Amino acid sequence: MAPSDKETDAIRQIRHHPAELDSIDRKILGALAEDASRSYAELSKMVNLSAPAVHDRVKRLKRDGVIKGTVAILDGCKLGRTLLTFLLVDTSSYSATRKLLTFAERPEVEELHTVAGDGCVLIKVRAANTESLEDFLMEIQSLEGVRSVRSYIALSTFLERGPSPD
């Protein structure tokens, strides 16, 4: 685990551009993005640094906002939310868009993005059943300024993860 002096020197020379993510940072980020319960001992083996050195780096990455936090990943189905749907809402006014943004408070709403186009908002919704999804849709459709709502119900999810450092 402890590299020879020659390797240590090489690592240090490569490393020193401040504020830039090097390949070791990215490796650490990739490992934590996949499983944040890894110990520093484990990470240190993965990147050939000591545990406190890895700890220092993670501290920096958190300080700099590259790591925003850690969260538990929950199974939507086991929570009773079996219907994943993407809504593309076309609005005719800024005030409608703003009303849509208030849906961020709803437990079934997972993502809310304004997207390029004439007043479009994309909403990722995970509902318990078709009935509650329909209620949700109707609520959105009855907002003044909502021109159309296209919904795409997910049949299978093959991948769902956050940004990758690679």
Partner DNA sequence: TGCTTATCCGAATGTGATTCGGTTTTCTCA
Partner DNA sequence: TGAGAAAACCGAATCACATTCGGATAAGCA
Quick count: other Cβ atoms within 10 Å of Cβ 69? 6
- Residue range at the interface with a copy of itself (CB under 8 A); choices 7-15, 47-55, 78-86, 129-137: 78-86
With CA atoms as reference, report the closest residue to 123 among 103, 96, 105. Answer: 103
Tell me: does residue 133 bind a copy of itself (CB under 8 A).
Answer: no
Judged on CB neighbours under 10 Å (0-12, 13-18, 19+), 106 is middle
Cα radius of gyration (the chain): 22
**Distance separating alpha carbons of residues 103 and 7, to the nearest angstrom:** 53
Site for DNA in 24-43 (CB under 7 A): 24, 38-41
Q: Decide whether 57 or 81 has the Cβ nearer to DNA.
A: 57
Tell me: does residue 21 bind DNA (CB under 7 A).
Answer: no
Minimum separation from the CB atom of position 156 to DNA (A): 31
Tell me: does residue 120 bind a copy of itself (CB under 8 A).
Answer: yes
Place of tokens 């520093």: 40
Partner interacting with residue 41 (select from a copy of itself, DNA, none; CB below 5-8 Å by kind):
DNA
Tell me: does residue 52 bind DNA (CB under 7 A).
Answer: yes
Place of tokens 């780096």: 57
Per CB under 7 A, residues contacting DNA are 2-3, 8-9, 11-13, 15-18, 24, 38-41, 49-53, 55-57, 59-60
